[in-house]
């Protein structure tokens, strides 16, 4: 399969990358750019572990072709922090014990960030609706909702 050169803007940096037509954004993020915070869960778009932001909106990187991401701004979990300083939402997840095994956390945080970017103080019901596509097998969601609400109140 012949590769095609694309420009991909990830976390504010533009990368020229040779991709095959069937390379997913998830594959490129993890295997080419070595941004391993984006997790591969089901590879079917059902678990939300691979969620990243495209132009500020959550998408499933396992279902997005890398070629379709060209020309868009992609944000991964690595792009939320400022060097070693975690973002307020990342800090809140830590402080509220919303991180257990951590596998779902990057996708959960990016989905929550997109919500908080559009709604200053979302209700618990609105948060539940927003994160419905992100599955966590450890926490039962209570601490996750509390962490998101705490940032929304600040």
Tell me the pLDDT tens digit for each residue of 91-148: 999 999 999 888 999 999 999 999 999 999 999 999 999 999 999 988 779 999 999 9
Percent of the chain clearing pLDDT 70 (strictly above) = 99
> How high is the pLDDT of residue 123?
95
- What token pair was written down for 5? 């050169």
> How high is the pLDDT of residue 100?
86
CATH class of the domain comprising 88-153: mainly alpha
Confidence of residue 19 (pLDDT cuts 50, 70, 90): very high
Average of pLDDT values for 52-62? 98
Evaluate if pTM is beyond 0.85.
yes
> How high is the pLDDT of residue 125?
97
Q: Does the domain made of 4-79 have the CATH classification 3.10.20.30?
A: yes
| Model confidence pLDDT, tens digit, residues 31-43 | 999 999 999 999 9
Q: How far is CA 146 from the centre of its chain?
A: 19
> How high is the pLDDT of residue 40?
95
Percent of the chain clearing pLDDT 90 (strictly above) = 90
| Every domain of the chain and the residues it spans | 4-79, 88-153
């Amino acid at each position: 399969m012949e590769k095609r050169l694309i420009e991909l803007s990830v976390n504010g940096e533009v990368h020229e990358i040779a991709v095959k037509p069937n390379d997913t954004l998830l594959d490129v993020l993890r295997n080419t750019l070595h941004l391993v915070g984006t997790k591969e869960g089901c590879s079917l778009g059902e678990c939300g572990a691979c969620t990243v932001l495209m132009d500020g909106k959550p998408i499933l990187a396992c279902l997005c072709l890398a070629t379709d991401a060209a020309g868009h701004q992609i944000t991964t979990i690595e792009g939320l922090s400022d060097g070693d300083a975690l973002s307020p939402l990342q800090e809140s997840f830590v402080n509220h014990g919303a991180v257990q095994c951590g596998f779902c956390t990057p996708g959960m945080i990016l989905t929550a960030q997109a919500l908080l970017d559009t709604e200053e103080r979302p209700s618990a019901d609105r948060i539940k609706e927003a994160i419905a596509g992100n599955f966590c097998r450890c926490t039962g969601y209570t601490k996750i909702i509390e962490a998101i609400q705490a940032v929304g109140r600040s």
